[in-house]
Structure 1
Amino acid sequence: MEHDLPAVLSLDIGGTKLAAGVVTGDGLIHGWQVTPTRREEGPRPVLTRLFDLGRKAVAEAGVPEVAAVGISCGGPLDTTAGVLECPPHLPGWIDIPIVALATETFGVPAALENDATAAALGEFRYGAGRGTSTMVYLTISTGVGGGSVIGGRLHRGAAGNGGELGHVMVRPGGRKCSCGGGAAWRRTRPAPPSPSAPARPWPPAAPRRCPPSALPTAEDVSRAAEAGDPLAIEVWDETTWALGTALTDLVNAFEPELVVLGGGVTRSGARLLDPVAAAVARDAMPPAARAARFTLAELGDGVCVVGAGAVAHDLLTGAAR
C-alpha cells in the first residue's frame, strides 16, 4: 500500500539549514535540496527561500505534482493549528501560520510536525524501526531530541508536543536546556556556580576549560576522545553516562522493542552505542532491558525530510494524529 501513495513535498526548517525534497510512498527522497537558513533575516525572507527551495525540489524530482506538503520544525508548535509558536532555534518566529502559508503557496493540504517526532516516524516506517511496534528514537547532535512510537502509532501527546524525550531531566540542578546549544561542548567549559544545586553525582568536580575553537561540537569531542585527549575522554564518558541514565528511564517507561539513536554524534558508532546500551542493560528493570535492542538510525541527514513526508502521507490517508 505504501508504494501506492502519491508523491508529497517535504520541508525541514532548521536553525542552520533548510532542506526540501519530494518523498514517494517507498520513503525515498527525490530532488533533494539544501540551503542555509540565515535565520537572522527573519521569518518572511526565510520562508520565501524555503518555498522556493520546495518548488526547485519538485522540478528536480520530475513529478508532475505533489499531493500534500509535510513540514518538519523544532517546537514549541501547534500541530493542530499548524502554527510555529516560538521555536528557540528561530528567534523572533512567533505564531507563524506555516501550514496556512504552505497551503496557499502550493495549493495542496499541508501538515506540521516537530522535527524529532517526524524523524522518529521516518525511522519507524522506512528506517531502522521497520517491523517493530514500540520504538524509542533519540537524535543526538547540537542538542538532543526524540520521539516514540507506541503500539504502531506515533506518540504526540495532548497538545501535539508530547514525546519531547530530549527534555528528560537527568541531573536536577544541572545545566539548563537551551533547546539546541551544543551540550557536549558546553561541558568543556566551567558552569556558573549555583548555590541551590545539589551535589553532582558525576565526577570530577574540577572545572573544565577549553577554547571554543578546540572542541566546537559534540562530534569533535568524540573524535578527540578517540584520539586520546584526556579532557575529551572525560566529557565523552559523562555524555554516555547521561544518555545511558536517561535511556534507562525511557526503557523502563516505554519497554520498547527497539531504541534507535540518530544524529551527527552517532557517527562515532560503537563508541556511543556500546556504553549506552551497557548502562541500560545494567540499570533498567530486567524485563524491559531484555526486550530492548539498540541500533543506529539508517536515514542519515534526510531523516526529517523523510519523516515530514510520512506526516504528509498520513494527512492524505486520514491516519489518526
Structure 2
Amino acid sequence: MKPRILFLPHGNLQYSQLDPARRPWVIDNSYDPLFDLVERTGAKIGFEASGETLKVMADTRPEVMAKLKRLMDAGLVEGVGSPYTHIMLANLPPEIGLESLKDGLNAWEQYTGHRPRLGWNPECSWADFLPDIFKEAGYDSLVMDGDSFFLGFPEIREATGLDFDVRGHSNKSKLFRIEEYIKDKPEYQKYLTNVSRTESGLNLLFRVDFFANPMLWYLMGATEGNRDTPIDISEISALLGRWKERAESTGSFVIPYAEDAEYIGTSAYFYVKQFGHARFFEPEPDSIKRFESL
C-alpha cells in the first residue's frame, strides 16, 4: 500500500513578539495563502489552531475563516485541536488544562462546525497526565514529540551523543543524528510510520524535528549557519523518498511537517530560534511557493 504523507501546519497567533495589532497581517500573509494553495491544488492537510487563534481569525478576517470552513466541509482540511490558549499543559494543574482543551474544541465547533478528533500538545511539554486529559476532553488521537521519545532510549542517546533537550532548541541542528542511527533499524522506524496506542485507547502519532527542520530551512531559503547554499528541493525529495520506502516496509504513513504554519508566508520566529537574531515575522512570500513544491 502506498504510504500517506501527512502535512500538519499548526497555527498560533499568541507569540510574545507578535504585537496583537499585527495578528491580522499574519492571517493575510500565512493562513490565507495556505488555504488558497489547498483550494487551488486539492491537496489535503491538517491544520491546528488554538481557540484564541480561531477567534481572532473570525473577528478580524471572517472571509478567511469562511474559507477554512469551506475547505473543512470539502474534506480538504482536517482541523486539529489544542487548548483554547497556547499554554504549556504540563505546567498547569490537570483540571485547568482539561477545561482549556474542552474550550478549544468548542471554539472549533463554534467557528467551523467541526469538532477535531486529533489533538496538539503546545510546545511538546510533557507530564504523565496529558494523554488522560486529552482523552477525557474528547480526543481520540494526539500528536507526539518523537525526538524526545527516541532520546528516551539510552542506546540512542549513547550513539548520537545527544541529551534530553531541556533547553528547547539546543539539539535542533543535531537531531539528524537520530535519523542516521535508526536508518537501518525498523524497530525504531515503526514508531514514525504507525499509530501507537495508550492503555486507555488514545492513539499517538509521532512527529520529529529531524524531519521537520530540513523542511523549515528549505522553506526559509536559509543556510542554517553552516552551509554555503540553502537546502534545495532535491535534498527534500531525497529525504521524503527515504521515508516513503521506510513507511512502505514498516507502516503506512509519515508526518514530515508538523511545524508552525506561520513559516509558510512569514519568517515567524525562525531567525531568533535558529540564529539568535532579533528578527520576527518578516514577509517570506517565496516560502509559499516552496511549500507548494513539496
Q: TM-score, normalised by structure 1?
A: 0.34
Q: TM-score, normalised by structure 2?
A: 0.36
Structure showing the higher helix proportion among its residues: 2
Return the index of the structure with the highest Cα Rg: 1
Structure showing the higher strand proportion among its residues: 1
